[in-house]
Amino acid sequence: MQIGLVGLGRMGMNMGRRWLKGSHEVVAFNRTIEKAQELSREGAIAAGSLKTLVDHLKTPRLVWLMLPTGAVVDQHVKELAELLSPGDVVVDGGNTYYKDDIRHAEFLKTKGVRFMDAGVSGGIWGLKNGYCTMVGGDQELFQHLEPLLKTLAPQDGYLHCGGVGAGHFIKMVHNGIEYGLMQAYAEGFEIIEASPYKTDLQKVSHLWNQGSVVRSWLLELAEEAFAQDSGLAKISGYVEDSGEGRWTVQQAIETGVAAPIITQSVYQRFMSREKDPFGFRVLAALRNQFGGHAVVKAGEDKRQAIAGAVQAAVAAPGVQPAGFR
């Protein structure tokens, strides 16, 4: 099949490569022409503009977007609406909010252009392993896209999830679950790291993937990370979020579904970006005010300060350490 691919980031570039290897014809456009030219050296046609991309495609045209969510997608949808013809198809394969899909589909429909959404998971490993793809939109149009989806995904790795927005909705929940799984692994490894047992975390990760109930691809990636840097000393604890975790929590609130693990995992990411959060300083001050609990002064070594406070409390007659009150 022929496909116009817009957006050649880490995901888009490798998706284009996978389609080329599957003998599809790829016309590629990127904001910086160098990336399109790079893919052209592997068999794609490089387009210097959206109009050039559209002009290269045979009708009915198929344009697949791999762009950052929000204003960038909005702008490209508006531009394509003026360039495409009735019967052409736009597929949004980025991480767009599913309610935006519905809005985009309604807008394009006024121009006679059809729309589908595709939630794509696979990250930087997708070129080798394939991309798990969750698709929303018309069933007939889904069947038209199947040759592309079969090339993109591993075996049984794509699904028509329902009407417009369903693909990105299922991908949104997928990412919410991912947040929770990652948080559980992070907490577990931190407990081991803080224990008196100096167990090799790479070996633990490898062990748990040998038949354990917590085995997973994420755990394989943890093993790889520990192999590269056993104490993760080269990595900052700052953790960004793509937005889909937040949307999952918003959806849970809208529908009255309890999702405490996913919600907390999103909050943990917010906390990771703060240095000495003000709220935690309020907590420490309150504990000191009502119970005389130890306070660590700014700049002090926290563990030494707390240990000293506990020792002093134990030494005082008739006084228990604060942690036992």
- Catalytically annotated residues: 171, 178
Burial environment of residue 120 by CB neighbours within 10 A (0 to 12, 13 to 18, 19 or more): buried
Using CA atoms, how far residue 266 sits from 123, 259, 261, 273, 288, in Å, is: 20, 11, 9, 12, 29
b/e burial code for range 173-192 (CB count within 10 A of at least 16 → b): bebbebbbbbbebbeebeee
Q: Are 288 and 257 in contact (CB under 8 A)?
A: no
How many degrees, rounded to 5, is the angle at CA 287 between CA 282 and CA 291? Answer: 155
Helices (H) and strands (E) in the chain, counts: 14, 8
Which residue type occupies 308? Answer: G
Q: Which of 216, 229, 226 is nearest to 184 (CA)?
A: 216
Cis peptide leading into residue 86 (ω within 30°) = no
Q: In what order do the strands lie in the sheet with 2-6?
A: 45-47, 25-29, 2-6, 62-65, 89-92, 114-121, 132-136, 158-162
**Cα 308 to Cα 38: distance, rounded to the nearest angstrom:** 61
